[in-house]
Structure 1
Amino acid sequence: MTKLSEWLCVALIFVSVWLPVLLGLTPIPVTDASVRLHVWLTPVYLVVIFGAISAFIVLYRVFTFNDCPDAYDELKRQITEAKDDLKRKGFKFTDS
């Protein structure tokens, strides 16, 4: 099952529960105004929660990003080798 189909299944389940409650088609009607307001705002709450969780995950992965000193050293060596090769072929570098 792909991620798209998983999200579509979750969205379908949510809408199939949320819409009958919203329209009053459930055996227990929602008559309280504050509860009805929160039922209306449930999709907004879910979007805000999704955004907060996504921001937390991105920030966590940025803060725990690993440095790679070996890769840095290898890249510096490859740059030096490329410069030396280009100098042998007649390219002149201008240091700025």
Structure 2
Amino acid sequence: MEKLRRRLTLNERIVIETLLKENKSKSYIAKQLNRNRSTITREVNNWVIKPTDIYKASIADFFAKDDYLNKRNKDKINTHKKLKHFVYKGLL
């Protein structure tokens, strides 16, 4: 049976936020959510840069959804100016 990759939900992010406030380890959080430790570590490291930063589930969820939606809207030709120039020059 192939494991389905799925994104973290807002509820899972709220659990992460709550357990981090209780000073639980990332391994413990991963076990509670039935996720890989690396998933939890990656999620927390994306949003907690400095030691004084606090993980906020609502903000993380908003930006994760925004990143996912924008990832689909970006095309290579408009994000790489040299490529765009090369392609358009070749069309003339």
Tell whether the structures are fold-level matches, with TM greater than 0.5.
no
- Structure with more relative contact order (C-alpha pairs < 8 Å, separation 6 or more): 2
Question: Which TM-score band (shorter chain)?
Answer: 0.3 to 0.5
What TM-score, normalized to structure 1? 0.32
* Structure number with higher helix proportion: 1
